[in-house]
Chain A
Amino acid sequence: MVEVLNLTKQFNSILAVDRVTFSCFPGEIFGLLGPNGAGKTTTLRMLSTALRPTSGTAKVAGYDIVREPEMVRRNIGVLPADPGLYGRLTAAENLRYFGRLYDMEGGTIDRRIADVLEMLNLLEDKDRRTEGFSKGMKQKVAIARAILHDPPVLFFDEPTAGLDVMSARAVHEFIARCRDMGKTIILSTHSMDEAQKLCDRIAIIARGSIRAIGTLDDLRSVSRESSLEEAFVKLAGDHGHEL
Chain B
Amino acid sequence: MSSKHILTVWQKEMLDTIRDRRTLLAMVIVPLLLMPAITVGFPVLMERQEEAARRLVSGIAVIGGTNSSILIGELKDSKGIRLIEYADLKIALQAMKENHVQLVVEIPEGFDRDMASGLRPKVNVYYEGTRRTSDIARGRFMDAFSRFSQKVVAKRLVGMHVDPAILVPAEVISENIASEEKMGGLLLSMMLPVLMAIWASIGGMYTAIDVAAGEKERGTLESLIITPPSRESIVLGKFLAVLTISGVTMLLVVSSIVLALRLVNPASLLGQNEARFVLPIGRAAVMFLIGLLLAGLLGAIEITLSIFAKSFKEAQNYITPLYIAVMIPGFLTQITSAAGATAGPFYFAIPVANAIEIFRELLMGSVNWIHIGVAAISSFVYALLALNIAIRIFCREDVIFRS
Q: Given the interface contacts A84-B220, A86-B218, A88-B19, does A97 sit within 8 Å of B12 by beta carbon?
A: yes
A:32-75 near B, CB below 8 Å: 45, 48-52, 70, 73-74
Q: Is A214 an interface residue (CB 8 A)?
A: no
Contact status B8-A97, CB under 8 Å: yes
The one of A73, A84, A85, A87 in contact with B227, judged by C-beta atoms closer than 8 angstroms, is: A73
B401→A73 contact, CB < 8 A: no
One of A74, A83, A88, A98 near B219 (C-beta < 8 A): A83
CB distance from A2 to the nearest CB of B (A): 15
| B216–chain A nearest beta-carbon distance, Å | 9
Q: How far is the CA of A82 from the CA of B311 in the complex (A)?
A: 14
| Cβ contact within 8 Å between A102 and B227 | yes
User: Across the interface, which residues of A come within 8 angstroms of B223, CB to CB?
Assistant: 78, 80, 83-84, 98, 142, 145
Please encode chain A, from 78 to 114, with 1 for each CB lying within 8 Å of some chain B CB and 0 for all others: 1011111111110001000110111100000000000
Is B226 in contact with A101, judged by CB distance below 8 angstroms? no
Q: How would you classify the secondary structure of chain B's contact residues: helix, strand, loop or mixed?
A: helix
Q: Which of A48, A50, A101 has the most CB of B within 10 A?
A: A101
Which A residues are within 8 Å of any B CB, using their own CB?
Answer: 45, 48-52, 70, 73-74, 76, 78, 80-89, 93, 97-98, 100-103, 142, 145
Report the minimal beta-carbon distance from A43 to chain B, rounded to whole angstroms.
14
How many B residues, CB 8 Å from partner?
Answer: 26
| Residue of chain A at shortest CB distance from B21 | A88
B5 at the interface (CB under 8 A from A): yes
Shortest distance from the beta carbon of B189 to any chain A beta carbon, whole Å? 40
14 sampled A-B residue pairs with Cβ under 8 A: A50-B225, A51-B401, A76-B226, A78-B223, A80-B219, A80-B223, A82-B219, A84-B219, A85-B218, A88-B19, A89-B12, A97-B12, A102-B227, A102-B228
Chain B residue nearest to A88 (CB atoms) is B19
A49 to B224: give the CA distance in the assembly, Å.
12
B108 on the A face (CB < 8 A): no
Structural contact, B227 and A88, CB atoms closer than 8 A: no
Minimal beta-carbon separation of B221 from chain A (angstroms):
8
